[in-house]
Each structure stands twice: as C-alpha cells, then as structure tokens.
A and B are shown apart, each in its own frame.
Chain A
Amino acid sequence: MPVYKRTYRNYDGAYVPRFRWWLVVKQEFRVLGKYRIFLALMLVAQLHTLVRFLQILAYDVIMQDPNNILTPLLSQVDFIVVNQRMFYEYVQLQAPLLLVFMLYAGSGMICNDFRNNLMEVYFSKPIRWRDYVAGKLLALILLGLSITALPAVILVVLHNILLPSWELLQASWWWPLSLLAFSLLLVVPCALATLASSALLRSQGFAAVSVFMVLSINSSMGVILARLLYNRDYLLVSFPATLYRLGQELFDVPGYRFQSDWRWSMAFVAVVCVVSLAAIVRTVRRAEIAA
C-alpha cells in the first residue's frame, strides 16, 4: 500500500489577505451583469435621471435667458425650479424602483448560495463570514447608490456647471452630502432587509415577496392608523414614511413634519437594520461552521 507524502504543498497563486469581500462583490456584479432584464431595469432607472437632466437644462439654460421664447411658458410651471426639494424628490421617486432593484438583485443572493451549495465553496476559500456578508451587502448598497446618490450628485454638479455662481455653490455645497445620506438611509435598510429575508428563506421568490409584503402592509397600516386617528404621528409606524421624513429633515423641506422627535424615526431605522443584520450574521455564521 503506497504511503503518500503529507508535506505542505505550496500554492502558487497570490493570496490577498485584505479586501476579500471585494471578490464577493465582483462575483455578484458578474452574475447580475449576465441578465439582460437587469440591464434593462438599470436603463429604466435612469429614465427619471434623464427627465431631471432635461429639467435642469430647461431651468439653467432656457429660464435664465429672458429673451428665450420658452421662458414665459416654463416660468408658469412650479415644479421646474431646481432646488434642494427637487433633489429630495428625485431620490424619493427613485425609492420604489430601488425596492424593485433590491428585490431583483438581493432576494436570491444568499438563498441561492444555500440552494446551490455555494456556501461550502465560499467558505472552503479563505473567505470568512464577515467577508461574505460585507461583500453581499456592499454589492447591494453600491447597486442602490448607482440609481440614487450617484446620478443625483452628477445632476448637482451639472447644475453648478450650467449655472456657475458663488451663491449657488454656497447654497448647494451640502446637497451632495444630503443626497448621499438620504440615499444611504433608503438603500442600507432595504438591502439589509432583503438579505435577511434571503438568509432566512430558501426560495428567492418567497424572499422577495416576504420583504415586499411586510413593507407594504406596514406602510398601509401606518397610513390607515394615522387617518383613522387623525394624528400624523402614527405615520411613524410606516417604515417608508419614516425614511421620507428623515429625508425631509436632511433636505430641510416641509413634508410630514411629525410632532415626534426625528430621533424616534432614526431609532426605528436602526432597529430594522440591527435585526436584519443579526438574522444575516446568524445564518451565515452557521453555514460557515457547517462548511
């Protein structure tokens, strides 16, 4: 019977101890990029950006020119004004599409790995649960930001280029920060909730519909409760309303204006994030131990 040498065999490949989560991110983008429907959704998501681009063009170029024949016509339209409210509304209107994106891209991220026994493949490599979770989460966050903060910041820059003035710069320097913060407020809980659902359920379809179901019923309950009790503070129950309310605080635009402190809204978001993260970590760590 032959006795095989059990000495260490050197691995020729380069081992990268840091940024291992980036491999997971790249893998997710590679997989998503293969689906034509995903690319089509990306394109649809930018249609709104195109409309806002035209709005900025109309406001910055046409309306600033008193001799232009379209100026009197455009000045009749209230919502053409480019200000912080416009940017808040831009991100707010992207939110439903963001949810669709998250459900499309995120609902299968973990459960499909379980289904296809990829957890064992991931954890047989020098990837730990932290890298795995961070990679998946980051992939979704980057995806979310690519249809919210990124185009919005580009629009802000464009607005400043088309209408260069010190006053505008002074007035708008904080817009990108607010845009990023509001986008993160929308994207992070949504990504975490989707991933948590994907970790807890073994079906991509059910993971997607569960997130949507909970969000939808929560939103409706909040609205109905507020209406029946004639008290807007009950909108706090609605998670989307809570997020929009925080966005309004960030952009300083009047809107829901609950009586309750904004910190309550922030606490609600934090609880959702922590609970979701705990669910993801628990499931993934179990898988790592099993692998």
Chain B
Amino acid sequence: MTTTTKSAFDEALLRRHENRPKRISYLGYVGVSMSLALIILLRRQRLLMAAIIALLPVTIPAATAYLSESEFADYGSQIFVHLVEQLHINVLAPLLALFFATMQVGEDVESNTLVYMQTRPTPRSAWVLGRYLAYLVVTSLLLVVSIVLTFIASTSLPGIGINPSDVMLLAHYCGVALLAVMAYGALALLLGAATRRPIVYGVLLLYGWQGLASAVPGVVDFLTIKKYTDALLPVLATQRQNFSMETELGTFQKQVFLVDGISALATLFVATALFLAYSIYCVRQREFASSRAIGN
C-alpha cells in the first residue's frame, strides 16, 4: 500500500516547503535563461560557420586592393561604406537574425526540449528575454568585429591613414548595425515562437517581402525594417541613389516619404518591443506540442 495518509502527506508537504530554496529574482531568471542559451550557442560548430560567414566581407577590401585592374573610384572608406551598408546592415544582420534568433525558441520547439522550460516556474517573459539577450550578445559581437575588421582592411590595405572622422563613421555604422540586429532579431524570434517553419517564413518576410516592398514605389516600404535602418545611415541611402532598381516614381516617392533619424530610431525600438511582447505572448499561449499532434 503506497497511498500516503493525509497527515503524513501534509507533514511532508510542510517539511519540503521549509526546505525548498528561495527562488531568484526576475532578473536572475533572465540571466539564467541567457546563460543557458549562450552555452548552447557557444558549444555548437554552427557558431564557427556563422563567424566565417560574418567575416567574409573582410576579404573584399583585400580583393579590391589586389585584384583590381581598373582605376576604380571607390576605395578606402568608400569601399567600407558600400560594404557595411550593402552587406553588414542589409544582408548579414537579417541573415544572422534568421540563423540565431529564429532558433532561440524554434530549436526548443523543434527538438522537443521546450517542455523542460515550460514546466519550470520561470516567468515566460524572462525566459524569452534571456534567449533574446543571448542572441543579441553573440550576433552583435560577430557583426561589430566584422565591421571593425572590414574598416581596418579597407583603410590599411590601400595605405590610407585613419582620421578621427572615419572613426566616427565606424562608430555610427556599428550603432546602426546593432539596431538592425536588435530589430531583425526580435522579428526572427517572433517567427520562431509563432510558427513551425520559422526559416521559411523568415526568408519570405525578410527577403521576399522586404525586397519587394523596397523596390515597389509607394509607401509599402514603411512596413519593412530596412526603411528605418537605411534612414539611420550617415547619409540617407535614398538620397544616394545606389544600385537598387527603382522607377522614377519610386525614387520620387521615396524622397518624399523620408523618415527622420529620431522617428526611425523610435520605430525600431517600438517594433522590437512589440515583436518581443508578441513572442512572449506566443510562448505563454501556444500549445507547442498540440500543433505537432495535429500535424500543422
């Protein structure tokens, strides 16, 4: 007979209640979630792969220094500007967000380890924020290192000296890259929490939709993150007429519907907060195992 009598049970309950350790604070939970996420990230070979890809832009200044046969106009800091805008901010930031942030929640869902987290008394918001912060630390570090190395390669290989304004430019670009990482990451995290195939949706959204909305004339590009990160670049990207294919009407409209720096900054922060809030809501409300049970 193994059924415990009520008094014995209550006695044991009381004893355990007294012995139970005191739980940590909310910030402690965020830290715990972040540290586990960092351990998971740092122990994977995937990090090495992401680092290699993030550092690839550094090779381009080297290539331009040694491969160029024509007298090209772009060199030194101009190459750096092209690379940071075209690669780091508009390609690498969303890519790294897709690579790391979608899987912060998505991997737990995919590998069925989410159940361990969901059955702990960790506040869901603290868990999500911890994961997001881990992503932010790793990705920001990768991207900033890549930007700084690209800057060094762009200026030192052709033998151009670094002046203080260039350093300011570097700091500015690092700031914009971090904001891009922040906003793209929050969106990617949301996709991981809200959908079962976050990568596919991420590709469709960040590349399909964002590419389309940026090319189509009109105001639809207001619904992209790129619009606001571009607006924060040292010289507004829309005024610089770079290589993107635009119609006359499209160029005209983009110049009319410019976003100032403060609004862009505010929008990125608000969007990040909204994405994170919705991610937390999804983690609280979604029945992850049940969606698998019915094959959605």
Say yes or no: B98 contacts A213, CB within 8 Å: yes
Say yes or no: A212 contacts B199, CB within 8 Å: yes
Contact bitstring A205-217, B, C-beta under 8 A = 1, else 0: 1101110111011
Q: Find residues 184-200 in chain B having any chain A CB closer than 8 Å to their own CB.
A: 192, 197-200
Give CA–CA (A203, B102) in the complex, Å: 12
Partner of B91, one of A201, A203, A208, A216: A216
Q: Does B255 sit at the interface, judged by CB under 8 A?
A: no
- Chain A residues with Cβ below 8 Å from B50 are 213
A211 to chain B, nearest CB (A): 9
Give CA–CA (A213, B56) in the complex, Å: 12
Q: Does B7 sit at the interface, judged by CB under 8 A?
A: no
Say yes or no: A212 contacts B64, CB within 8 Å: no
Say yes or no: B74 contacts A205, CB within 8 Å: no
B243 to chain A, nearest CB (A): 6
Give CA–CA (A213, B47) in the complex, Å: 13
Contact bitstring B101-135, A, C-beta under 8 A = 1, else 0: 01100110011000000000000000000000000
Partner of A224, one of B86, B95, B192: B86
- Chain B residues with Cβ below 8 Å from A267 are none
Say yes or no: A228 contacts B98, CB within 8 Å: no
Q: Knowing A203-B110, A216-B91, say if A224 contacts B99 (CB, 8 Å).
A: no
Say yes or no: B203 contacts A100, CB within 8 Å: yes
Say yes or no: A214 contacts B102, CB within 8 Å: no
A34 to chain B, nearest CB (A): 6
Give CA–CA (A145, B232) in the complex, Å: 43
Q: Find residues 190-220 in chain A having any chain B CB closer than 8 Å to their own CB.
A: 201, 203-206, 208-210, 212-214, 216-217, 220
- Chain B residues with Cβ below 8 Å from A234 are 67
- Chain A residues with Cβ below 8 Å from B72 are 228-230
Q: Knowing A36-B296, A217-B91, A228-B74, say if A103 contacts B203 (CB, 8 Å).
A: yes
Give CA–CA (A225, B82) in the complex, Å: 11
> Which of chain A's residues has its CB closest to B74's CB?
A228
Q: Knowing A103-B203, A212-B203, A220-B86, say if A229 contacts B95 (CB, 8 Å).
A: no
Partner of B199, one of A208, A221, A224: A208
Give CA–CA (A99, B243) in the complex, Å: 24
Say yes or no: A225 contacts B60, CB within 8 Å: yes
- Chain B residues with Cβ below 8 Å from A208 are 199-200, 203
Q: Does A35 sit at the interface, judged by CB under 8 A?
A: yes
The total of interchain contacts (Cβ-Cβ below 8 angstroms) comes to: 106
Say yes or no: A204 contacts B98, CB within 8 Å: no
Say yes or no: A209 contacts B64, CB within 8 Å: no
Q: Does A130 sit at the interface, judged by CB under 8 A?
A: no
Tell me if A's interface is mostly helix, strand, loop or mixed.
Answer: helix
Give CA–CA (A99, B202) in the complex, Å: 13
Q: Knowing A100-B204, A205-B102, A217-B91, say if A224 contacts B56 (CB, 8 Å).
A: no
A288 to chain B, nearest CB (A): 24
Q: Find residues 53-108 in chain B having any chain A CB closer than 8 Å to their own CB.
A: 53, 56-57, 60, 63-64, 67-70, 72, 74, 79, 82-83, 86-87, 91-92, 95, 98-99, 102-103, 106-107
Q: Knowing A34-B295, A213-B98, A213-B99, say if A231 contacts B60 (CB, 8 Å).
A: no
Give CA–CA (A209, B110) in the complex, Å: 14
Give CA–CA (A35, B53) in the complex, Å: 33
Say yes or no: A96 contacts B70, CB within 8 Å: no
Q: Does A266 sit at the interface, judged by CB under 8 A?
A: no
- Chain A residues with Cβ below 8 Å from B63 are 225, 229
- Chain B residues with Cβ below 8 Å from A122 are none
Give CA–CA (A220, B79) in the complex, Å: 14
Give CA–CA (A82, B71) in the complex, Å: 42
Give CA–CA (A221, B59) in the complex, Å: 10
Say yes or no: B46 contacts A220, CB within 8 Å: no
> Which of chain A's residues has its CB closest to B75's CB?
A228
Say yes or no: B199 contacts A209, CB within 8 Å: yes
Say yes or no: A227 contacts B243, CB within 8 Å: yes
Give CA–CA (A138, B78) in the complex, Å: 47
Say yes or no: A104 contacts B197, CB within 8 Å: yes
Give CA–CA (A37, B199) in the complex, Å: 14
Say yes or no: B295 contacts A35, CB within 8 Å: yes
Give CA–CA (A228, B110) in the complex, Å: 41
- Chain B residues with Cβ below 8 Å from A231 are 69-70
Apart from the given pairs A210-B99, A213-B98, 11 other A-B contacts in the complex at a CB distance below 8 Å = A103-B200, A203-B110, A205-B199, A206-B103, A209-B99, A221-B87, A225-B64, A228-B82, A229-B64, A229-B72, A234-B67
> 9 closest Cβ contacts across the A-B interface?
A208-B199, A220-B91, A209-B199, A230-B70, A104-B200, A209-B99, A213-B95, A209-B98, A228-B64
CB-defined A-B contacts under 8 Å, sample of 10: A34-B295, A99-B203, A100-B203, A115-B111, A208-B200, A212-B199, A224-B60, A229-B70, A230-B72, A231-B69
Name A's B-contacting residues (CB within 8 A): 34-37, 96, 99-100, 103-104, 107, 115, 201, 203-206, 208-210, 212-214, 216-217, 220-221, 223-225, 227-231, 234
